[in-house]
Amino acid sequence: MKEVVTPSQATPALTSQVLAVTAFLQDLGGTATVKGTDVEPVERFGCVSAGGGDPAEAAAPEAVGPPEEVFATFGCVGCHQIAVPVRTLGPPLHDVGARLSTSELYESILEPDATMAEGDPPYPPGLMGATLEGNGFYERMTAADYRALVEWLAGHGGLE
């Protein structure tokens, strides 16, 4: 017998990455190409279900909240300084908007090890991705959350 994998069986992490990529592509295009709410296209394809049930109830995941909240909720704050040029476990992000483009910011969050920040001594690989996978970041972030987070980071261009 052949197993048919429907979109609703897609893993939450995958769904979240689709949302992030959607947000990213919309950013690149300047104007949004997907109308309606951010989650509408995903709902339409039935990807958002948290496990069957009434499709009306399997509503879109709720946005985590403003970037400051995301930064605290998922422990970014434990590894990154956002206001001062101080290295902790990860690089300081007070000037990250001046160092990374929007697409690099998306990549640094979605694929932390794809391009490693340079540090002396070098930053440890794997740490950020494993932590964010472990604490549900990739499952809970909506497209709107990703976009707001990246915009917020891009706005950090150095010390005032």
Instruction: Determine if 127 is a binding residue for ligand HEC (CB under 6 A).
Output: yes
Closest distance to ligand HEC from the beta carbon of 56 (Å): 31
Q: How far apart are CA 47 and CA 45, in angstroms?
A: 6
Instruction: Determine if 148 is a binding residue for ligand HEC (CB under 6 A).
Output: no
Instruction: Determine if 48 is a binding residue for ligand HEC (CB under 6 A).
Output: no
Q: Among 80, 94, 146, 148, which residue sits at the site for ligand HEC (rule: CB under 6 A)?
A: 80
Instruction: Determine if 97 is a binding residue for ligand HEC (CB under 6 A).
Output: no
Instruction: Determine if 146 is a binding residue for ligand HEC (CB under 6 A).
Output: no
**Nearer Cβ to ligand HEC, position 83 or 116?**
116
Angle at 124 between CA 123 and CA 130, to 5 degrees: 130
Q: Which of 41, 39, 55 is nearest to 141 (CA)?
A: 39
Q: Among 74, 106, 138, 146, which residue sits at the site for ligand HEC (rule: CB under 6 A)?
A: 74
Interface segment toward ligand HEC; rule CB under 6 A; list 8-16, 26-34, 45-53, 89-97: 89-97
**Nearer Cβ to ligand HEC, position 32 or 79?**
79
Interface segment toward ligand HEC; rule CB under 6 A; list 30-38, 46-54, 56-64, 88-96: 88-96
Count of other CB atoms within 10 angstroms of residue 95? 14
The 3-class secondary structure across 31-42, one letter per residue, is CCCCCCCCCHHH
Interface segment toward ligand HEC; rule CB under 6 A; list 10-18, 26-34, 48-56, 83-91: 83-91
* End-to-end Cα, the chain, rounded Å: 63
Give one DSSP letter per residue of 2-65, joined into a string: -----GGGS-HHHHHHHHHHHHHHHHHHSS-SS-SSTTHHHHHTT---SSSS-TTTS-PPPP--
Instruction: Determine if 100 is a binding residue for ligand HEC (CB under 6 A).
Output: yes
